[in-house]
Structure 1
């Protein structure tokens, strides 16, 4: 009966919030849980898969989140110990000598040895559930830490995929600029030939040279951006900045997903998004702390006991005449504290309200992330389709204008304009494809998709050795 007694509010589960019935950008039906796990496999890029697996194993932020989970679990164990009695033992052997004392008292001043041993125990009864509430709060904290670890993985996987896709995009833009500049240099040679033959003019030659040089000038900019993305990937994998440079040395196409992501219903975010789940667990934790603070306002009952023995000879310690003991309950009643305990309860209630506001804000942000990603993905796909059509027609226009220019049927301005327009359209098309894939990645992150395999958190980052009694080394 005493174990079931508790004070303070009982947490009744996630609070009910007004949520839309479907996404405004895409009405969706409920899908089975787990369909977002390992979503990056839909990008069909083996190297990306390897990089993500290595990042999960070695990323410092994930390692830190694992340590936080270990700390939270140890906190649960520490708090749970409050339900059990504590027992301590002591033993001593002391040499003693008494002083002569007063003149009227005869005292034996001979030295003697005193043997003592004792056991002390105490047990605070959790009459009003204060310890149980503290354990409840610690458990909710552990669950929140586990969700934070999952959130770290969601963020990490999304970042690795996004930087990888962006790097592949820069490689494609570099290759395009180099191909285009080569073609423009050919146009420059043709213009120079016409100029040398007397059928061209210096203005056309200068423009042809300038356009080729302008295109070539884009390559160093793209190379710097590519290097920055590769360096960031190295850091995300827990390596030096150039740690993946060799793996990324060979160009590859920009990954293109072929399968749509199951968006489910807005209510699914309460289960799928780890940051939302973590905020909800923090709300439950804050609610439990109110009960722990409220229990402190009630009387506390403890059972204490001690058994001791002392004798001049070690063999006499077990004699009944050498043994002393005491046992009994003690009650502590808060009489007057000038409102300190009540203020502690009010603080806990205010912190609970803050946790609710954070949970509500996190849910709204999650909705916003998904809606934005859905709209961006849809519009970027439309834009990519239009740019592909534009690039196809500009490619044909460039071919025709160059052919007509070679035969003298078109002006150099037509060739210059066609090549410039073609390069701009193809470069924009690459950027649009990259944006569409990054929107796909953002949508996966917004929906809470991430790592589904078990994560080992038992191994600490630093494994201490020689922790038993040993000679201390010089402090460095």
Structure 2
């Protein structure tokens, strides 16, 4: 086969191994919570956190996208995948190298009476080129796999951003919830102290006992004891927020110490149809790209079992004077194909193909699992949000009733028409109901966040992944310097 024919075969694009086809997965027609009579609206995922209506949260999300270390790592992986793709693509093109040498030569005299030659200089320069024709597509499959790997790295960044935005929103909501619960505990303790003071006054008047005073004080102290635990949980949420934005743990303490309302989402939200998950969830798209990548790697392994042909050529010139290299010199050249064919390898190459197929199967299963997990996440978050909203309504009614009861019990207690135990029970029930109502408000916001994450809502703004984290200086040729010793370990 001539070189021209080989080149034509290469350009025709002969490859071995399976061609990737995007898998078809049967998806439910609708979510279990969707009303069959209502028209289906697409999910509103763009900047969904802004519908929590909190400017401070919006600012923290922006800062986290810029400063988060997991995002920086994901951007570095994209740069790595881009470089790997360029590295693989380079194998499709010829490579060329040049060389040169200068030597000083002399032949010594032998003991049998020969004469020594005069010393002389010899200069050589050459040019080598080679091109692997990639007859069966090993390099093209490698490039294909690298391109899918780059796609997967980009989806990994989007998945990281999705998780980040959700974590920032969740921790911010938790922090505001703990602030509200601390304020509630302090208000309830203050009210219970007033009851204890009233009981002390009544004891002095002979209408209450010292035991009643002790009980009233004990309940107030018990309520105050919740404050340190809630303060600790609040601090942990703020510390997590600081780290998520790429700052030291205490960086946001001063900024967030002023209390703000618990974020309240606009509800209900449209969820689209289950098939949207295949396009909106970055972790699902990443799993699909990885499946495609390892499908291409089967062809790469399969091609290694076939012959390979390379075109190689070189030209060199030598002279006794540097100035003669281009004119009065000896010139030699060679050109021709090189054929390499595997003959016996004890099944090693076939085993490599079977390994590649097994890896492809694992990534296909991982893709199917990611789809099922995504569907499960949406169903769970949707049910949780719906049920928590119902629970919140009941808790609001309960807190109002307990508030009325506590107010009435205090009035009756002042007039001596009820016992202290009834007052303390009413106050304890009121505090518990109001605290549960605050926790429910936090859960509604948290479930809203979880639902948007499950639907695939994340950062959809521009992200520059081309700028390296570390910009090296003085990378060109220079004299080597001795590394500095660490003063701390000098003996």
**2-side partners of 1:100 and 1:32: how far apart?**
93
From 338, 362, 368, the equivalent of 2:346 is 338
Q: What's 1:56 paired with?
A: 65
Q: What is the aligned partner in structure 2 of residue 431 from structure 1?
A: 439
Deviation at 1:469, TM superposition (A): 1.9
* Equivalent residue runs for 1:75-474 within 5 Å: 75-101=84-110, 103=112, 109-319=117-327, 322-474=330-482
- The question of 1:66 aligning with 2:80 is answered no
Contact persistence 1:29–1:265 (CA under 8 A): no
CA distance in 2, matches of 1:32, 1:419: 47
Q: Which runs of 5+ in 2 are unaligned?
A: 1-8, 485-491
CA drift at 1:30: 5.1
State the Cα deviation string for residues 230-273 of structure 1 (Å, max 9, x = none): 11111111111101111111000100011433311111111111
How far does residue 359 in structure 1 lie from its aligned partner after superposition?
Answer: 0.8
Distance 2:40 2:467 in 1: 38
- Residues 65-123 of structure 1: CA distance to partner in whole angstroms, max 9, x if unpaired? 0000000000000000001111000111111111225747x665111010100001110
The structural deviation recorded for 1:21 is 1.1
Deviations 1:148-175 (A, max 9, x none): 0000000011001000000100000000
Distance in 1, Cα, partners of 2:122 & 2:268: 83
Aligned 8 A contact 1:177 1:219 in 2: yes
Deviations 1:279-317 (A, max 9, x none): 000000000000111111111010000000001012221
Match of 2:45 among 9, 12, 36: 36
Which residues of structure 1 form unaligned runs of 5+?
Answer: none
CA deviations on 1:304-338 (whole Å, 9 max, x unpaired) are: 00000001012221237511100011111111111
Deviation at 1:32, TM superposition (A): 4.8
Confirm or deny: 8 A CA contact 1:26 1:374 kept in the other structure: no
Q: Deviations over 1:389-431 (max 9, x none)?
A: 0001111111111111112222212211111110000000000
State the distance in 1 between where 2:105 and 2:42 align: 78
Instruction: Give the distance between the partners of 1:32 and 1:377, measured in 2 at CA.
Output: 18
Whether the aligned pair in 1 keeps the contact of 2:192 and 2:219 (CA below 8 Å) is: yes
1:451/1:151 CA distance change after superposition, 3 Å: same
- Of 194-203 and 276-285, the range deviating more from structure 2: 194-203
Post-superposition Cα deviations, 1:21-49, rounded to whole Å, max 9, x if no partner, equal 1111235855457x302100000100001
- Secondary structure of 1:87's match? strand
Structure 1: distance between partners of 2:431 and 2:55: 30
Give CA deviations for 1:353-405 in whole Å, capped at 9, x if unaligned. Answer: 01011111111111111111011111111111100000011111111111111
In 2, Cα distance between equivalents of 1:320 and 1:363: 72
3-state SS of the aligned residue for 1:49? helix
> Is the Cα–Cα contact under 8 Å of residues 137 and 289 in structure 1 kept in the other structure?
yes
Q: Distance in 1 between matches of 2:482 and 2:183?
A: 58
Task: Give the superposition deviation at 1:466.
Answer: 1.1
Q: TM-score, normalised by structure 1?
A: 0.97
Taking structure 2 as the reference length, the TM-score comes to 0.94
Summarize deviations over 1:419-473 as a string: whole Å, max 9, x none.
1110000000000110111011011111110101110111111111111122334
Cα separation, partners in 2 of 1:447 and 1:319, compared to 1, 3 Å: same
Judging changes above 3 Å, is the alpha-carbon distance between structure 1 residues 148 and 314 closer, same or farther for their aligned structure 2 residues? Answer: same
C-alpha distance in 2, partners of 1:448/1:102? 87
Q: In the aligned structure 2, how far is the partner of 1:253 from the partner of 1:304?
A: 73
Secondary structure at 1:288 match in 2: helix
Change (3 A) 1:39 1:107: farther
1:29 and 1:264 in contact (8 A); partners too: no
- In 2, the alpha carbon distance for the partners of 1:110 and 1:91 equals 23
Q: Is the 8 A contact 2:42 2:270 kept in 1?
A: no
Q: Which of 6, 14, 27 is the matching residue for 1:5?
A: 14
Mapped to 2, the partners of 1:474 and 1:418 lie a distance apart of 77
